[in-house]
Amino acid sequence: MILPILTEPNPLLRVRAKEMEAEQIQRPEFQKLLDDMTETMYAANGIGLAGPQIGQSKRILIAESSESGDRKPLALINPMISSKSWRKVMSEEGCLSIPGKWGVVKRHRGITVRALDRQGKPLTINSDKLLAIILQHEIDHLDGILFIDKAVRVEEMSERVRPRI
């Protein structure tokens, strides 16, 4: 089921999302929510989607992880950045919750993220590629932060020059 994506300035995008409890993860309705988020992300041509963007104040995110070789989307629960590179990169970003705007944001080049997978098993992800950017952007969403808060430059553009996250 495709869910409506909230857009700025919806106040729900500004709330710090809550941690998931272990016993909630196996519930069919929660598993369905992860499937719906994945379907919603693809339908919107996005490569990342966080709980608050569909009005769920939960620390969950979906990311397109092409780095693993297949197009299987990654579902992360309670993700936490456990280490980050000193080196930073300037990232050009758009967001499904901020239509028509693009910005340049300074991000850590590489990060390590600890999370639970959709079965509730601990998982560690290292990336210094696009996935690192997606995860930093999505974890910001979980803290009520949008890329326009951090961008050194924001431009309005109708065309989609970059995938939105």
Query: How far apart, in whole angstroms, are the C-alpha atoms of residue 114 and residue 92?
Result: 25
> How many residues at the interface with Ni ion, by CB under 5 A?
1
- Closer Cβ to Ni ion, 7 or 24, answer by number: 7
- Closer Cβ to Ni ion, 120 or 148, answer by number: 148
In the bound complex, what is the minimum distance in angstroms from residue 45's beta carbon to Ni ion?
13
What is the rounded radius of gyration, in angstroms, for the C-alpha atoms of the chain? 15
Residues 9 to 38 in contact with Ni ion, rule: CB under 5 A: none
Applying CB under 5 A, among 76, 95, 134, 135 the residue interacting with Ni ion is 95
Task: Tell me the residue ranges of DSSP E strands in 31-136.
Answer: 48-50, 60-64, 73-84, 88-95, 98-108, 111-116, 122-127
In the bound complex, what is the minimum distance in angstroms from residue 134's beta carbon to Ni ion?
9
In the bound complex, what is the minimum distance in angstroms from residue 141's beta carbon to Ni ion?
6
Q: Given the rule CB under 5 A, which of 1-9, 19-27, 70-78, 90-98 is the region that contacts Ni ion?
A: 90-98
Q: How many CB atoms lie within 10 A of CB 14?
A: 14
Please check whether residue 104 is in contact with residue 137, taking contact to mean a CB–CB distance below 8 angstroms.
no
Query: How far apart, in whole angstroms, are the C-alpha atoms of residue 78 and residue 8?
Result: 23
Please check whether residue 62 is in contact with residue 90, taking contact to mean a CB–CB distance below 8 angstroms.
no
In the bound complex, what is the minimum distance in angstroms from residue 108's beta carbon to Ni ion?
17
Query: How far apart, in whole angstroms, are the C-alpha atoms of residue 79 and residue 113?
Result: 6
Find the residue with minimal CB distance to Ni ion.
95
Q: Given the rule CB under 5 A, which of 56-64, 81-89, 93-101, 112-120 is the region that contacts Ni ion?
A: 93-101
Asked if 134 is part of the footprint of Ni ion (rule: CB under 5 A), the reply reads: no
Residues annotated catalytic, as ranges? 138
Provide the binding-site residues for Ni ion, judged by CB under 5 A.
95
